[in-house]
Amino acid sequence: MLEKLTIIGGNDKEGNPENVKLFEIDAGMVFAIVGPTGSGKTQLISDIEQFIDDSETISGRSILINNHPASEFNFNKSLRYLIAEVSQNMNFVIDITVENFLLMHTKVREIENQKEIIDEALKITNELAGEPVYFSDNLTKLSGGQSRALMVADAAVISKAPILLIDEIENAGINRLKALEILKKQGKIILVITHDPTLLLMADKRIVMKNGGMNKLHITSTEEKELLKSLVNFEEKISNIRDYIRNGGIIKEKNFDI
Ligand SMILES: Nc1ncnc2c1ncn2[C@@H]1O[C@H](COP(=O)(O)OP(=O)(O)O)[C@@H](O)[C@H]1O
Ligand SMILES: [Mg+2]
């Protein structure tokens, strides 16, 4: 059971020690990584993905799992199952139905109550996606938003991966707040890389990257959580206007209060 991930700082691009010497991510926590292009976000994620040990990469970082170096665990083969990924450009290319895809995955994961679990997965998918998804839908026909909703649902109830990496799901056409809540409830460690302020403020903590190094560790403040509420509210309004116009509505004065 993965309860805690610890990242021990190494060096930045110039070889200077990182400002953040150590940080911990607990299960059930959402953690964001921010910083301009080239600041080292992908490097940090890849260090975490590889569970590097003893300065194996240029960053010189080490990762501990439940306070122990990853090398102490004898899970060479299963290591890759620790991390599941949901990313922006997620479209399926396999030509099977949603139902068969989910059934296939429950079989691979040796899940017993298959029917119950895939029902739950479809239910979550539909809580997150803008447009309804049916068991009989073909994967290749799903929109980007529907595909991501299905991946999040799959990660929540079928994939056993304790760490979930969410890469750039802005404008993803899914209910992101709900998605994060569902995943948190499953006790997953959630890493988010994004430039989207709403998603960033949904995180419990964020690491600010600079020049290849972990420059700052920030715990999302009460003020920021207040701002998050306004942002979510605002997004809801935009989404309502979008639906209204899509369905043939004509905007008149004071139709919508922004
Ligand atoms: N701590 C580091 N030490 C040395 N090189 C680094 C470090 N972090 C990142 N780099 C290098 O800097 C470049 C940009 O980093 P990258 O992680 O791709 O940035 P980002 O994802 O934020 O755009 C890459 O070539 C990467 O290997
Ligand atoms: Mg990158």
User: What CA–CA distance (Å, rounded) separates 23 from 10?
Assistant: 12
CB 206 within 8 A of CB 218: yes
CA angle, 168 then 131 then 156, to 5° = 55
- Ligand 1 interacting residues, C-beta cut-off 6 A: 11-13, 35, 37-43, 58-59, 209, 212-213
Closest ligand by atom to 13 CA = 1
- Residue 39 is predicted with a pLDDT of 96
**Span from the CA of 230 to the centroid of ligand 2 (angstroms):** 29
Burial (CB count within 10 angstroms: exposed 0-12, middle 13-18, buried 19+), residue 4: middle
The pLDDT score that the predictor gives to residue 59 is 93
CATH code of 4-220, in short, is 3.40.50.300
Contacts of residue 64, defined as CB under 8 A and 6 or more positions apart, other chains included, come to 4, 5, 6, 8, 70
Distance from C-alpha of 88 to C-alpha of 234, rounded to nearest angstrom: 22
How many Å lie between the centroid of ligand 1 and the Cα of residue 212? Answer: 5
- Which residue ranges make up each domain of the chain? 4-220, 221-258
pLDDT string in tens for the chain (258-residue length): 778 999 999 999 999 999 999 999 998 889 999 999 999 998 998 888 887 776 678 899 998 988 988 777 765 545 556 777 776 666 667 789 999 999 998 998 888 899 999 999 999 999 988 789 999 999 989 888 888 889 889 988 888 788 888 876 655 567 777 888 888 888 888 888 888 888 899 899 999 999 999 999 999 999 999 999 999 888 888 878 888 888 898 888 766 666
Query: Cα(54) to centroid of ligand 2, in Å?
Result: 23
> Which pLDDT score, from 0 to 100, does residue 168 have?
66
Q: What is the reported pLDDT for 164?
A: 85
pTM as predicted: 0.81
C-alpha distances (whole Å) from 19 to each of 10, 36, 70, 101, 190 are: 9, 17, 23, 45, 23
Nearest atom in ligand 1 to the alpha carbon of residue 18 is 1
The strand ranges marked E within the chain are: 4-8, 22-26, 30-34, 62-65, 68-69, 83-87, 163-167, 189-193, 205-210, 213-219
- What is the predicted pLDDT for the residue at 130? 78
Which of the listed residues 8, 13, 165 should we mutate to test ligand 1's pocket, taking the one with most ligand atoms within 8 A of CB? Answer: 13
